[in-house]
Amino acid sequence: MLKREKKDMITVDKKLIEHNEFHIPFYKQRREKNSCMLVEKFNSNIKDGLIEFEDADCLCGHNQFYLLTSVDKHSVLHKTVMCQRCGLLQTNPHYSHDALRDFLESNIYKNLYYGGSYENYAYEKYNIFTGMYIYEDLKKFININQDTKVLEIGSAAGWNLLPFIDKKAKVLGIDYNNRFVEIGKSIGINLEHKTVYELEEKFDIIIINKMFSIILEPLNVLKKVKELLNPNGLLYLNVLSNERFDFNRIHNIRLYYFTIHSLNYFVSHCEFVRIRYGRHNKDYSFHIFKHGNKPQASDKFFRQNLRRSMRSIRYFNLKYKLKLFFDS
Ligand SMILES: [Zn+2]
């Protein structure tokens, strides 16, 4: 396991992306009036200290960062930084556990992320094809039938579980958002409003689909997943792939911006071995892990990943300068 270093004050020195647009809220130009007012109110709550933030070390244990941006794509005040040792992009400081939960259950979250009601969003997703790619990726490595136990962490209203239910597998979905959980339960999907730490039964498949980057303590969750996963079980992660820095992906609920390389490094240090990864489209990559202990060497990874992250930011800066030049 990775060891956390002794806690010192977090330092964020040197801005790697300098243009004001990425450091000052710009909602007046960008957003519709309604969501603009919500963001403005939320930002003033942040400024007034009504929303609780916490400094956190990087997952590699380091605590010195370069600053990238000070607002997110919705203009919410939010710092995105790069670890000076391993190059992992992340949010810092980030919401406390309670502040994150409040935000995920708030109107501003619903408005910015779903645009309408949870019910409409869920019913659009209720289709066996929504989660079919997860089933297709996994069935090459494991028989899925009435004896298979499947857990999805962050299942929302459970739409990804439909192909597994179709094969008679025993499924459980857990989510923070009780509205989604109630919608899924109302149509008979086995969902619970709880955290992974409250579970004790074992599973053959554990899915974290597009949610891994919003988990506050992903290494602790992986430790728990390791306990819950049967010896021949599989862990399936689908994450936004951040090989190139893209400001449109900077959202205030995202905590970590993994790449194909960094995801493998951190998960392999929690005693998993990656057996397959790939992409379904340019945005997301999937990763299938099983139990095993072959962690990647740290020093080499830190060096290479920092270089890759720096290159990606240089490319972003250059592209942005060219855009300004041609727009003027
Ligand atoms: Zn780091």
- Per-residue pLDDT of 188-214, as tens digits, reads 999 999 999 999 999 999 999 999 999
Instruction: Lowest mean pLDDT of 25-29, 184-188, 298-302, name the range.
Output: 25-29
- Per-residue pLDDT of 134-160, as tens digits, reads 999 999 999 999 999 999 999 999 999
Residue 152: both structure tokens together: 């999805």
Cα→Cα distances 187→146, 160, 165, 197, Å: 20, 14, 13, 26
3-class secondary-structure state, position 180: helix
d(CA 237, CA 134): 9
3-class secondary-structure state, position 188: coil
pTM, 2 dp: 0.91
Q: What is the whole-number distance in angstroms between the Cα of residue 122 and the centre of ligand 1?
A: 36
Residue 91 is predicted with a pLDDT of: 95
Do residues 254 and 213 touch, judged by C-beta distance below 8 A? yes
Q: What is the whole-number distance in angstroms between the Cα of residue 255 and the centre of ligand 1?
A: 13
Instruction: Lowest mean pLDDT of 6-10, 21-25, 130-134, 212-216, name the range.
Output: 6-10
Q: What is the whole-number distance in angstroms between the Cα of residue 65 and the centre of ligand 1?
A: 8
Residue 28 is predicted with a pLDDT of: 54
d(CA 169, CA 238): 21
Mean pLDDT over the full length of the chain: 91
| Comparison of pLDDT for 137 and 2, the residue scoring more | 137
Q: What is the whole-number distance in angstroms between the Cα of residue 74 and the centre of ligand 1?
A: 26
Please return the burial class of 260, using the count of CB atoms within 10 Å of its CB with bins 0-12, 13-18 and 19+. Answer: middle
d(CA 256, CA 267): 13
Q: What is the whole-number distance in angstroms between the Cα of residue 86 and the centre of ligand 1?
A: 4
Residue 119: half-sphere exposure toward Cβ, Cα within 13 Å: 2
Most confident of 106-110, 174-178, 302-306: 302-306
